[in-house]
Structure 1
Amino acid sequence: MTVPADAGDPVKAKPRSAAGARSRAKTAALPRSRSAPAPAYVLHRYDWSETSLILDIFSREQGRITVAAKGAKRPYSQLRPVLLPFQRLLVAASRPSRDETADVLTLRSAEWAGGGPMLSGAALFSGFYLNELLMKLLARHDPHPVLFDAYAASMPALAAADDTLTQAALRAFEIVLLREIGLLPQLDRLTSSGTALAADSAYQLRPELGLIAHAQGDAPLAGRQLMALQQALNAGEMGQLQRLCADNLPALKTTLRGLLHYHLGSPRLRTRDVMIDAQQLMEPHR
């Protein structure tokens, strides 16, 4: 059953990131009237008032959007058990009727769309890590349906409580994310020359140079594996991409972490810091 959000328009808010600021030119494309419910996930939630929330939502049709959920914090609100992270939702949101330039949309309805169990334990950190990447790297109102489907396909692997599956799912999602936002070069040819890779040769991926021949001191990536990764990307085979990542986790983790930190402009992510702190707190009890 669809749960209607309380009526009312949100206050106009400024984008929270540079990526959001770049998306202001797209406000004309935002829905002015009530939109049909579309698949979405809650990325983050903020207190807006004693009774309402501001939500960062990843929508398959609208990309990353910010919505005001009026009355969602009230004890009797049926939205409270619905607006949870890592649960697939059907969400309808539109621009306020009195402000056609508002960056914050009004949540009109939300309903649970099915899915796996809630993430718990270490899986929560992995899920929030994906959410943090999306919030930092995606511009608002820029749809990425392929990335949305990759996010949805990552949830079962995170919930499996298997470290290898989890790490492979994280690496596969990072690859799709970088490709979708235009920060990943072709993985089956050298970036500078366009020359096809040799299956038995070793290569490395550098943020400022792209894909180059392997040099000493960097995590090597086999040409055969890189070509297979590109093939899986082209085919949209998320399961195959995860399996390929599982075959070379250490090198891919080092390479992708370097790429992400370079483009994020930060050596650490908040989610990773929290996870490290939690592990240190638990260490004396082991």
Structure 2
Amino acid sequence: MSFKQARAFHPGLAWLIHQRPYRDTSALCEFFTQDHGRISVIVLNCRSKKRRALLIPFQPLWIEVKGEGGLKMLTQIESEGPALRLMGASSFCGLYLNELILKTLTQTDPTSEIFMAYQHALKTLSAQPHQQASTLRHFEMTLLEQLGYALPFHQLKNPEAYYEYSLEQGFIEYTIPADTRLSYDTLKAIEQRNWSTPQQARASKYLMRQAIQAALHDQTLQARTLWQPVEIA
């Protein structure tokens, strides 16, 4: 079925997470939407003043698209409110979230919980930039849980032990501490999404970086390599 024959539909509130040039004046855009998750959309005439102004990160959008398969065609686009102002390091954190969605979600993944967590994260990064680290950890844990990569906290049995995380085996128990091992108490705090102390914050960041590798399937996050001068929380 051609785009002209397909019926247009509205996939819910949408956020642009990635775009790249497509032919002369068009773009291939990836949107994260409320009702249809991640969708790939051809946007024609993207050099027009209106579309240039709307096709930016952190801008809530109303879009209408056509298409039955994996690739859709944009038919309408409007603003759903002012763009969120993510400044400085918060902007890099937001782009990191976009890259996570792009590289971990397929177009068939269930995404309602992830979508709500994403919106909450963007709004928090905009309104409370001092909460960058906590905001990212909350989103990362929700993403892992919803995609079936939740950390196996049920393996923590011994309050006196130290644990090292392995993608293949989960938490491996040790009796002697080491730089790569986390205490039972620290891991139980992370399970409860409590990373209020500096030690818990460092441990949760280290643990999330390891765990996310499973969801990435050997892909590299450019946010960690291109933006080294600005430390991602």
The bucket for the TM-score relative to the shorter chain is: 0.7 to 0.9
Q: SS of the residue aligned with 1:172? A: helix
Which residue matches 1:261? Answer: 213
Conservation of the 8 A alpha-carbon contact between 1:128 and 1:271: yes
Instruction: Output the CA distance in 2 between the equivalents of 1:153 and 1:265.
Output: 26
Greater displacement, 201-210 / 134-143: 201-210
Which residue matches 2:136? Answer: 170
Which residue matches 1:56? Answer: 30
1:161 aligns with 2:129: yes
Return the offset for 1:205.
3.6
Instruction: Output the CA distance in 2 between the equivalents of 1:223 and 1:147.
Output: 28
1:275 aligns with 2:227: yes
Alpha carbons of structure 1 residues 223 and 65: separation in structure 2 relative to 1, 3 Å: same
Conservation of the 8 A alpha-carbon contact between 1:9 and 1:106: yes
1:39 aligns with 2:13: yes
Conservation of the 8 A alpha-carbon contact between 2:89 and 2:230: no
Q: How many percent identity over aligned positions?
A: 25
Q: SS of the residue aligned with 2:129? A: coil
Instruction: Output the CA distance in 2 between the equivalents of 1:267 and 1:51.
Output: 29
What is the letter of the counterpart of residue 51 of structure 2? L
Q: Which whole-Å deviations, capped at 9, do the CAs of 1:51-104 have from their partners, x for residues lacking one?
A: 2211011112111110011112124xx222122212222222230xxxx4x421
Aligned length: 224
Instruction: Output the CA distance in 1 between the equivalents of 2:159 and 2:80.
Output: 43
Conservation of the 8 A alpha-carbon contact between 1:41 and 1:87: yes
Q: Which whole-Å deviations, capped at 9, do the CAs of 1:136-194 have from their partners, x for residues lacking one?
A: 111124231100100111113322332xx10111111111111111011443x21xxxx
Alpha carbons of structure 1 residues 36 and 202: separation in structure 2 relative to 1, 3 Å: same
Conservation of the 8 A alpha-carbon contact between 2:144 and 2:215: no
Q: SS of the residue aligned with 1:81? A: helix
Which residue matches 2:195? Answer: 245
Instruction: Output the CA distance in 2 between the equivalents of 1:55 and 1:174.
Output: 23
Greater displacement, 36-45 / 211-220: 211-220
Q: SS of the residue aligned with 1:226? A: helix
Q: SS of the residue aligned with 2:51? A: coil
Alpha carbons of structure 1 residues 37 and 204: separation in structure 2 relative to 1, 3 Å: same
Per the normalisation by structure 1, the TM-score is 0.68
Instruction: Output the CA distance in 1 between the equivalents of 2:39 and 2:134.
Output: 28
What is the letter of the counterpart of residue 184 of structure 1? A
Return the offset for 1:204.
4.4
Per the normalisation by structure 2, the TM-score is 0.81
1:226 aligns with 2:188: yes
Which residue matches 2:80? Answer: 113
Conservation of the 8 A alpha-carbon contact between 2:31 and 2:41: yes
Instruction: Output the CA distance in 1 between the equivalents of 2:75 and 2:116.
Output: 23
2:168 aligns with one of 208, 215, 227: 208
Return the offset for 1:259.
1.6
Alpha carbons of structure 1 residues 200 and 81: separation in structure 2 relative to 1, 3 Å: farther
Q: Which whole-Å deviations, capped at 9, do the CAs of 1:186-208 have from their partners, x for residues lacking one?
A: 43x21xxxxx7566765444311
Instruction: Output the CA distance in 1 between the equivalents of 2:164 and 2:148.
Output: 18
Q: CA RMSD in A?
A: 2.9
1:181 aligns with 2:147: yes
Q: Which whole-Å deviations, capped at 9, do the CAs of 1:254-280 have from their partners, x for residues lacking one?
A: 11111223543548521111111x459
**Uncovered stretches (5+) of structure 2, i.e. residues with no partner:** none
Alpha carbons of structure 1 residues 229 and 84: separation in structure 2 relative to 1, 3 Å: same
Conservation of the 8 A alpha-carbon contact between 1:198 and 1:224: no
Instruction: Output the CA distance in 2 between the equivalents of 1:272 and 1:57.
Output: 22
Conservation of the 8 A alpha-carbon contact between 1:200 and 1:224: no
